[in-house]
Amino acid sequence: MEEMKVESQQPIRKWYTLAATEVIEALQSNSSQGLAQQEAERRLAKQGANKLAESKKKPLYTVFLDQFKDFMVVILFIATLISYFLGEYLDAITIIAIIIINGVLGFIQEARAERSLQALKDLASPMARVMRDGHLSMIPASQLVPGDLVLLEAGDRVPADLRLVSANRLEIEESALTGESLPVSKTARKLEHTNGAQVPLGDQKNLGFMGTMVTGGTGSGIVVETGMNTEIGKIAHLMNTAEEAETPLQVRLEQMGKMLVVVAVLLTIVVIVAGIWHGHELFTMFLAGVSLAVAAIPEGLPAIVTVALALGVQRMIRRNAIVRKLPSVETLGCASVICSDKTGTLTQNKMTVTHVWHSDTMYEVSGRGYEPQGAFHLYGKTVSPARDGALNQILRIADRCNNATLTSEEQSARKLLGMGKTTRTWHVMGDPTEGALKVLAAKGQGTGSERSKNGQSVRVEEYPFDSERKMMSVVEKGTDGTYTLLTKGAAEAILARSTHILWKGELQPLSATLRHQVLDQTEKMAARALRVLAFGYRQLQGYRSGQPHTSMENHLVFVGLVGMIDPPREEVRPAIALCHQAGIKTVMITGDHKVTAEAIARQIGMTRGYGEVLEGRELDNMSDDQLAEYAERVSVYARVSPEHKLRIVRALQSRGHVVAMTGDGVNDAPAIKTSDIGIAMGITGTDVTKEAADLVLRDDNFATIVAAVEEGRNIYDNIRKFIRYLLASNVGEILVMFFAMLLGLPLPLVPIQILWVNLVTDGLPAMALGVDPAERDTMYQKPRNKNENIFSRGLGWKIISRGFLIGAMTLLAFWLTLHENPDDLVHAQTVAFVTLVMAQLIHVFDCRSQYSVFHRNIFENKYLVWAVVSSLVLVLGVVYIDALQPIFKTTDLNFRDWALILVTSGIPTFVAGIGGVLYGGRSKEKKAAPKKKSSSMRTVRP
Ligand code: ATP
């Protein structure tokens, strides 16, 4: 087997023919400790990252050249070349320079958009649980090397090709590779009887393949192949063809862009023909017309939209929301319902057991958090749990039927604060519910509890928790050779499988009265917002491994209940209030008890009254139509399983809602995919849900969803703002020329001036609008209709009316100046040029508000202020710098000119502003809650 070396360039492909031990030996690894970190780093340097080769990116120079591919730009180039040969050298060179500067700006915008999109991709890269030097840690999957020991559990994507070394009911869905959608049951055993023949991938049951999905069970495996050597790597070139998805808005804008080109070209032709008709020189008119067309076509729009989306997405990341699919940014702003899990999203997921109940006796447990310090109290007195057999049994089950571990680290306050005290902080690795139970067991320890007596018993089987069964069990072999099934779970689930109860020290049949009493107690605890878990056990006569849970989890002896607190997250209540203000319905969907769910829902302001709660089993008895009707009213769904989520999403969608839905487990993926905005938990979520999701919450926090919705609304509003600005400016530019030619006036602007106007007004100010802070009442509006036209809610009218005013006022300034001094055309053109720029630079502030310019502080967006100042400098430069005057056909302006310019350029915005104040309505935020500041008040930074 000498060819089977780690660094072999031609790795052995038939790993399934070897025993796990042989693979471990061949790869010089270790089945419990994994690789040494240093060795792993050495292998990584040698082998390269565990990544699939990406499809080739567009080289930068093509991105740059693409900026000049536009049809009208090509025409302008040609026209400029002709003017060069006609002897207009200065004109030609300047025009070409302006075109190139424009191209560079476009290139920077596009490169920036591309960079931000790449950063997003990197953020979403998968992680792997790996054992190195005997320590378990999460590392980026790209750093895995052959020989690494990887742990798998339900919901994981297999991070590399693995030879399994352990498999506990491990099932993997390999459709990505084999097309077979049914999960394959995996084993760690060597495949027998292969006789050296090639075994099809689907039958290589002791291997896990990169990119496939663990649907059940747990396991571990040694990495045998990474990157392009994996099975998926071999076919990766087939999969690299997927294009970047564009958002619906981008698609619509592209269509609109094409239409605008046609309109601009038609109007240009009219301008050219009218100009020639009125005696202007043919070539001058042609050059002016083409310049006008280039200026009027908003060629930068798609890039600015991408930049606005990408920058918005980065702002979301800063608020802990990672957008996986760009189109969902738009949908986010339309969300009309947010459905959220309870545990960890609405609550802190920091559980503490506060109550233990059995045989009609309620113990209170003191202590906070995960620190295993606290005592048991009965009727106000501290008691020792050692004396109470049933309590001991509860503590034993809590400890043994549990996969969490409690760890602590010492923190020297001397180091931190310069003081002499040492403190210990406690953490839980694993499920917080189980962590709380570990802490409970530890609080009972040292009192002679069952835990120490049973310290030697070993676990021989586990039936993992799943949210369908709502319970978990283990089988333990005691030192005396007997087997016991220990189980915990939802009270109804345990009771339903119990035949006996440990009641006041005696084993009794579970009578209807006692059953009722237990249920009654569960409700009482739940009504105090406690998360309630029940405990049971079963003494097994004999034991055979591999039996299904259905035959094991019955004939249980019920022991008692524990209640734990899981306080709501502080920021959730205001976030929910904000949702209600914003016309967004909030819904809790939880596997927890109805009464607990209702109590928490009331604490966080999700429900106001009663009767808004529906249970999973009630939902089972409803038709889809009935559910759709209920769905409008229900705020809490309790005791539901993941497939209910799918029905809830569909019911809400059938009512026209745009639904955001959270999830963490594997089974949540269908609901997440079906919802309009699928949201996965970044901390507790599985790879599968994250991949199905549009949005991943880095902090698992409900408030983050609301922040993302707010950003989503803001991004859309900003896109509307710069579309409004760019198009109104273009309408203005076209109309000046159009009316001038129709009226038989001289050219109000020369071609270079038109191009300069385009350059200084389109670029920076439009970009700055893309990062404008939200208007104060963004979250006081109803959600936008998903199919809304971008020009609706008055935007189309605003564009036409402001554009018309800008054009008309520029022409007026031009005409008045020319009228006064008919021989000085350059003077009048300079006034028109500056008026047009000023009108646009003033109008840009109007675009920030859907009401009027007076509704917002003009200094709030400092990027915009700087953009406007720099545009002004660029214009004043070409007017006042002597050397530039002949190039731009400008002349100095006097005081009277400036007075005229300021009045005429201010009129479009101020007239519209006064109209807005009088008739345009008022910001809803002021009416609704004058004092409250929404979080959107932050200054937005790109
Ligand atoms: P959410 O769906 O909001 O996250 P949840 O965490 O309560 O709420 P599940 O995880 O599906 O939902 O849990 C449902 C019920 O199963 C819980 O109310 C509890 O009674 C029980 N349960 C939860 N975790 C465990 C566990 N580790 N072992 C046994 N039973 C559990």
CATH at residue 613: 3.40.50.1000
SS3 230: coil
For residue 449, is pLDDT > 70? no
The answer on 561 and 574 residing in a single domain is no
Torsion of CA 137, 143, 144, 146, to 10 degrees: -140
Cβ 552 vs Cβ 573: under 8 Å: no
Give nearest CA residue, ligand 1 atom 12. Answer: 591
pTM, to two decimals: 0.76
Q: By C-alpha distance, which of 563, 566, 392 is closest to 486?
A: 392
Give nearest CA residue, ligand 1 atom 24. Answer: 433
User: What is the structure's pLDDT at 931?
Assistant: 38
Total domain count for the chain? 3
Per-residue pLDDT reduced to its tens digit, 235-271? 765 544 334 456 677 777 777 777 888 888 888 888 8
For residue 587, is pLDDT > 80? yes
Give the separation between CA 476 and CA 484, rounded to whole angstroms.
5
Strands 677-681 and 695-697: what pairing?
parallel
The answer on 166 and 48 residing in a single domain is yes
Report if residue 274 sits inside a domain.
Answer: no
The answer on 127 and 37 residing in a single domain is yes
Radius of gyration, alpha carbons of the chain: 35
Q: Give me 367's structure tokens.
A: 């202590």
Domain boundary among 225, 244, 265: 225
Domain boundary among 506, 534, 565: 565
Of the ranges 98-102, 345-349, 357-361, which one carries the lowest mean pLDDT score? 98-102
Q: By C-alpha distance, which of 150, 148, 129, 161 is closest to 40?
A: 148
Report if residue 411 sits inside a domain.
Answer: no
Give the separation between CA 439 and CA 426, rounded to whole angstroms.
10
Longest CA–CA separation in the chain, Å = 116
User: What is the structure's pLDDT at 930?
Assistant: 38
Give the separation between CA 136 and CA 115, rounded to whole angstroms.
33
The Å distance, Cα 391 to ligand 1 centre, comes to 22
Cβ 845 vs Cβ 912: under 8 Å: no
Report if residue 929 sits inside a domain.
Answer: no
Residue type, 80: T
Say yes or no: CB of residue 522 within 6 Å of ligand 1. Answer: no
Per-residue pLDDT reduced to its tens digit, 196-236? 667 777 888 899 998 888 888 888 999 999 988 888 777 76
Q: By C-alpha distance, which of 583, 561, 588, 591 is closest to 572?
A: 588
Q: Give me 638's structure tokens.
A: 């309790």
The answer on 609 and 683 residing in a single domain is yes
The answer on 592 and 507 residing in a single domain is no
Q: What is the CATH number of the domain that holds 499?
A: 3.40.1110.10
Locate tokens 């560079």: which residue? 104
Query: Which domain covers residue 397, as residue numbers?
Result: 352-403+455-565
- Could you tell me which residues are beta bridge partners of residue 627? none
Report if residue 294 sits inside a domain.
Answer: no
Atom number of ligand 1 nearest to Cα 342: 3
The answer on 521 and 643 residing in a single domain is no
Say yes or no: CB of residue 342 within 6 Å of ligand 1. Answer: yes
Per-residue pLDDT reduced to its tens digit, 123-165? 556 788 899 998 888 888 999 999 999 999 888 889 999 999 9
Higher pLDDT: 113 or 670? It is 670
SS3 81: helix
User: What is the structure's pLDDT at 939?
Assistant: 31
The Å distance, Cα 663 to ligand 1 centre, comes to 13
The answer on 511 and 586 residing in a single domain is no
Report if residue 926 sits inside a domain.
Answer: no
The answer on 540 and 580 residing in a single domain is no
In total, the chain counts a number of residues equal to: 942
For residue 312, is pLDDT > 70? yes
Cβ 295 vs Cβ 761: under 8 Å: no
The mean of the pLDDT values for the chain is: 84
Q: How far separated are the first and last CA of the chain, in Å rounded?
A: 57
Domain boundary among 530, 565, 600: 565
Report if residue 839 sits inside a domain.
Answer: no
The answer on 490 and 624 residing in a single domain is no
User: What is the structure's pLDDT at 788?
Assistant: 83
The DSSP code for 124 is: T
What is the best residue among 338, 465, 519 to mutate for testing ligand 1's pocket, by most ligand atoms within 8 Å of CB?
465
Per-residue pLDDT reduced to its tens digit, 57-99? 677 788 788 777 766 677 777 777 776 776 667 767 877 877 7
Report if residue 22 sits inside a domain.
Answer: yes
pLDDT confidence band for 174 (50 / 70 / 90): confident
User: What is the structure's pLDDT at 287?
Assistant: 81
The answer on 147 and 3 residing in a single domain is yes
Give the separation between CA 27 and CA 221, rounded to whole angstroms.
12
The answer on 650 and 673 residing in a single domain is yes
User: What is the structure's pLDDT at 450?
Assistant: 44
Residue 701: C-alpha distances to residues 319, 586, 589, 708, 750 (Å): 11, 14, 15, 11, 57
The answer on 160 and 43 residing in a single domain is yes
Of the ranges 57-66, 81-90, 394-403, 587-596, which one carries the lowest mean pLDDT score? 81-90
Cβ 700 vs Cβ 432: under 8 Å: no
Buried b (16+ CB within 10 A) or exposed e, 133-165: eeeeeebebbbbbbbbbbbbbbbbbbbbbbbbb
The Å distance, Cα 313 to ligand 1 centre, comes to 33
Cβ 730 vs Cβ 757: under 8 Å: no
The Å distance, Cα 175 to ligand 1 centre, comes to 30
User: What is the structure's pLDDT at 941?
Assistant: 36
Q: What is the CATH number of the domain that holds 81?
A: 2.70.150.10
Per-residue pLDDT reduced to its tens digit, 799-835? 999 999 999 999 999 999 999 988 999 999 999 999 9
Burial of 441 (0-12, 13-18, 19+ CB in 10 A): buried
Report if residue 11 sits inside a domain.
Answer: yes
